[in-house]
Structure 1
Amino acid sequence: EVFKGKKNLRLLTTGSLADSSIEATVFKQVSGGFLVQDKDVSRITLADLKVVTRRQPSEQELADLFFAWTVAKHIKSNAIVYVKNGATVGVGAGQMSRVDSTRIAARKAQDMATALNLPRPLTHGSVVASDAFFPFADGLISAADAGATALIQPGGSLRDKEVIAAADEAGLAMVFTGMRHFRH
């Protein structure tokens, strides 16, 4: 009824829209072909998490881990996110190595702390999310050196045992999600 008075308007009936909760395939054109990956529509719950270290995350760490995991979902490849008290304090992404992303995110957090004249780095007491597994312990150790106390990552590396041992040695809590957010 509203559109009947519009002279040059054409309306088409298309039926219902597709259910956006259904997983879809994402295509990205690259030189010589396409990169095909599933659309990341996954969500995690407490039941999805597997604590793999001796130390359990605290309630505050868990809340921050969930938030950091959500932020990491929306950042491109090799994403590392530092979160403290419900706020993102450092992000590193798009690097060739996870340890470089970890260091960049920590440096950004340190730069902000310096700009705000804070007495300690924003990463002190933070948690870290990684969009894909840590292939080596170096990224995790870098996060611990920056002051992180807990990590969330998918797990699934051939070196998971080494990474878990490094987390235990550093006194970190670490949880595996069993799913990754890594995207191109």
Structure 2
Amino acid sequence: CALDFAWRVVRHAKSNAIVLGRGSSTVGIGAGQTTRVKAVELAVGVAGDRARGSVLASDAYFPFADGIEVAGRAGVAAILQPGGSLRDPEVIARADEYGIAMYCTGWRVFRH
């Protein structure tokens, strides 16, 4: 599935890393950024229109809901991330507002 593929790819990108995927292809990668929201912005910018309906994998949790807002405005359909932020309730609520399915793995896979 697309989420599994994106999760496998994001494990090999430099943190902070975001991968947008469709099927078994990447459509946007944001890696090596100082903030997670910047990584999402980069991945969405690379994907362009292909971000709509894509899935997003993050190598670590979202510390704030701002990255979810960027993904939501771009039309991302689902997010796979480790979870574990003190702000998880806010992050999950923002995903719900955008109709984004969110899955938490419990495992961080970041590379510094």
Matched, 1:76 2:14: yes
Query: Over the residues paired in the alignment, what is the CA RMSD in angstroms?
Result: 0.7
Query: Which structure's relative contact order is higher, taking Cα pairs within 8 Å and 6+ residues apart?
Result: 2
Shift of 1:140: 1.1
Distance 1:72 1:85 in 2: 15
2:98 corresponds to which residue?
170
Distance 1:85 1:74 in 2: 18
Contact 2:12 2:111 in 1 (8 A): no
Shift of 1:85: 2.1
Distance 1:146 1:169 in 2: 14
After superposition, give the CA deviation of every residue in 1:107-140 in whole Å (9 maximum; x if it has no partner): 1112xxxxxxxxxx01110000000000000001
Aligned ranges for residues 1-184 of structure 1 at < 5 Å?
63-110=1-48, 121-184=49-112
Distance 2:74 2:99 in 1: 13
Q: Which runs of 4+ in 1 moved over 6 A?
A: none
Counterpart amino acid of 1:150? A
After superposition, give the CA deviation of every residue in 1:50-101 in whole Å (9 maximum; x if it has no partner): xxxxxxxxxxxxx111110000000011100000122100000111100001
Distance 1:85 1:178 in 2: 23
1:17 corresponds to which residue?
none
Distance 2:44 2:96 in 1: 21
Aligned pairs, number = 112
Contact 2:7 2:57 in 1 (8 A): yes
Please list every run of 5 or more consecutive structure 1 residues that lacks an aligned counterpart in the other structure: 1-62, 111-120
Distance 1:144 1:84 in 2: 16
Secondary structure at 2:103's aligned position in 1? Answer: strand
Please list every run of 5 or more consecutive structure 2 residues that lacks an aligned counterpart in the other structure: none
Q: Normalized per residue, which structure has more helix?
A: 2
% identity of equivalent residues: 57
Counterpart amino acid of 1:67? F
